[in-house]
Amino acid sequence: MDHFEIVDGELHAEQVPLSAIAREVGTPVYVYSRATLVRHAKVFREALSALPKVHIAFAVKSNPNLAVLRVLAREGYGADVVSEGEMNRALAAGIKPEDVVFSGVGKTRAELIAAVRAGIGQFNLESEEEGVELSEIAAALRTRATCTLRVNPDVDARTHAKISTGKAENKFGVAYDRASGIYARLSALPGLEMRGLAVHIGSQITDLEPSRQAFLKMGALMNALRVQGYTVSHMDLGGGLGVPYKAGDDLPTPADYGRMVSEVAQGWGVTLMFEPGRVITGNSGVLVTEVVRVKKGTGSPWVVVDAAMNDLARPAMYDAWHDFAAVRPGGETMTANIVGPICESSDTFALGREIDAVKAGDLAVFRTAGAYGATMANTYNSRPLVPEVMVDGERWAIVANRIEPATILAAEQVPDWLA
């Protein structure tokens, strides 16, 4: 459930008509509902309430907007970060360093130093090499870094190949068969405190079975490590739970996921950690766009909108589906191709889709755009960086400005030798 509904013939975000936002901020613009974010955060936490010890770290990459992070900080969420930039955002939003988990396959030396200095709560190590480097850094700073070892369980998440992370051929984590040897060697290092294992097999997962298989493998590894005398007090099960992108999609709910985890992790005696991203933010946001013009074609007409693949990259990158809806639907429909203005054929949101009938100047939205939307935006074709708005009941605020091409141009210079 979200808070984007038609009231008096017009799509609203909570109690705010989207046309009011478009009038003042212009389009394209991302609009987030605070109430939906809060609801999703509570539903996910509630789904895990049968588990004894739980730590939830919001996957910042899915939506790193400072106001979004603040909402989740107020819900008691920690943060899962993958760069110094994300770490600084989480801290700026008021998330305590000890509630931050630092993931990522390529943390640089500078990032490791900054994170140790900041007192980050947990490093999810993705290789033995990273562990050795972090140990040196922590020891030099006269401390110990608390870590888990991310394991690649070689399980197919059955999601899009480009967002699958738990197969042996993916770059993430250490090979399952090598994990206990690496854990043993890392446990002996002076600058590390190894406290557990981490796993994350992919994103937009729509079937619980692969996660269950992966978690069972992690449980077996945990037992083997304990038999060898090692401590495993924390198990980070990652994120990845999918969300419905199409009206009518039937997916496992957070409650289904929670039940599966409770069954698998029965008797583990660990703090279970989770890194949800999309399931919290996906349906909390829409991308509002204006129809530039409707162009006749040889087949369906081309509905050219002012949002493009630089604003919402998912359709171009993963052939992802985002529902499209008119802000003031008139009841008629049309079959159309929806495209953006960018000079690439991949700048296509939908082909031959039945949509609300629209004409030039109409406002429309792409739904389920709160996750991996604005965060993946860029300025290709010298377009502005898309702004973001948050709605809270009757009030709303710009939470990220539109960054104009002139601002980006001002950061460039022509060297003397080209004058």
Ligand X SMILES: N[C@@H](CCCC[NH3+])C(=O)O
Cite the active site residues: 343
**CA atoms of 374 and 312, how far apart (whole Å):** 7
Task: Tell me which residue has its CB nearest to ligand X.
Answer: 372
Residue 33 identity: S
**CA atoms of 133 and 135, how far apart (whole Å):** 5
Is 163 a binder of ligand X (CB under 6 A)? yes
**CA atoms of 116 and 136, how far apart (whole Å):** 11
Query: 314 contacts which partner out of ligand PLP, ligand X, none, CB within 5 to 8 A by kind?
Result: ligand X
Instruction: Between 366 and 396, name the residue whose CB sits nearer to ligand PLP.
Output: 366
Closest separation in Å from C-beta 165 to ligand X: 6
Instruction: Between 45 and 322, name the residue whose CB sits nearer to ligand X.
Output: 322
**CA atoms of 89 and 262, how far apart (whole Å):** 32
- Give 129's contacts (C-beta < 8 A, 6+ positions apart): none
**CA atoms of 42 and 64, how far apart (whole Å):** 19
Is 278 a binder of ligand PLP (CB under 6 A)? yes
Closest to 338 (Cα-Cα) out of 327, 348, 323, 325? 348
Is 203 a binder of ligand PLP (CB under 6 A)? yes
How is residue 117 annotated by DSSP? H
Closest separation in Å from C-beta 312 to ligand PLP: 16
Is 275 a binder of ligand PLP (CB under 6 A)? yes
Instruction: Between 217 and 314, name the residue whose CB sits nearer to ligand X.
Output: 314
Task: Tell me which residue has its CB nearest to ligand PLP.
Answer: 277
Closest separation in Å from C-beta 115 to ligand X: 19
Is 277 a binder of ligand PLP (CB under 6 A)? yes
Among 59, 208, 214, 339, binds ligand PLP (CB under 6 A): 59
As a whole number of Å, the end-to-end CA separation of the chain is 58
Q: Phi-psi bin for 26: left (phi > 0), alpha (psi -120 to 50), beta?
A: left
Closest separation in Å from C-beta 7 to ligand X: 30
**CA atoms of 270 and 254, how far apart (whole Å):** 20
Residue 314 identity: R
With CB under 6 A as the rule, give the number of residues binding ligand PLP.
Answer: 17
Find the binding residues for ligand PLP in span 72-91 (CB under 6 A).
Answer: 80
* Helix (H) / strand (E) containing 280: helix 278-281
Is 152 a binder of ligand PLP (CB under 6 A)? no
Q: Residue 298 has which token pair? A: 């040889």
Instruction: Between 318 and 380, name the residue whose CB sits nearer to ligand X.
Output: 318
Find the binding residues for ligand X in span 182-211 (CB under 6 A).
Answer: 203-204
Is 277 within any annotated ligand binding site? yes
Is 380 within any annotated ligand binding site? no
Query: 238 contacts which partner out of ligand X, ligand PLP, none, CB within 5 to 8 A by kind?
Result: ligand PLP
Instruction: Mark 222-241 with x for binding to ligand PLP (rule: CB under 6 A) and - for no binding.
Output: ----------------xxxx
Let me know: does 150 contact 198? Beta carbons within 8 Å: yes
**CA atoms of 299 and 305, how far apart (whole Å):** 18
Find the binding residues for ligand X in span 370-389 (CB under 6 A).
Answer: 372
Is 314 a binder of ligand X (CB under 6 A)? yes
**CA atoms of 11 and 22, how far apart (whole Å):** 12
Residue in the block written with tokens 């991996």: 372
User: What is the pairing mode between strands 10-13 and 348-356?
Assistant: unpaired
Closest to 50 (Cα-Cα) out of 241, 256, 278, 275? 256
Instruction: Mark 33-52 with x for binding to ligand PLP (rule: CB under 6 A) and - for no binding.
Output: --------------------
Binding site for ligand X (CB under 6 A): 61, 163, 203-204, 314, 318, 372
Annotated binding site for substrate: 278, 314, 318, 344, 372
Interface residues toward ligand PLP, by CB under 6 A: 59, 62, 80, 103, 165, 200, 203, 238-241, 275-279, 371
